[in-house]
Amino acid sequence: MTLVLLHTVFAPYFYMDGLKKVKVKDVSLLSYLDPLSAIVYALIVFGEVIGLRTVMGGALILLASALDLAKGS
């Protein structure tokens, strides 16, 4: 029951509430980093081995974030 409440009720509520207080540009940059953080957590928590494709994907995510940040300046 706790898991359901935490992930289905509280997390989306706090996410949507936080969107009201953050600029759209910043939200888009953070959304780029979400998949990258999942890779890092998989490495730390589960000891997952990171392959070349994963590294390349992470580099593309960071590149897209950097380009978007540079374009917005």
Residues 57-68: tens digit of each pLDDT = 889 988 888 887
58 touches 36 (CB < 8 A): yes
Compute the distance between CA of residue 16 and CA of residue 57 in angstroms, rounded to an integer.
27
* Chain mean position to CA 57: 13
The percentage of residues in the chain with a pLDDT greater than 70, rounded to a whole number, is 97
Q: What is the pTM of this model?
A: 0.58
With bands split at pLDDT 50, 70 and 90, how would you rate the model's confidence at 36? confident
Compute the distance between CA of residue 24 and CA of residue 28 in angstroms, rounded to an integer.
6
Residue 44: its pLDDT value, please? 93
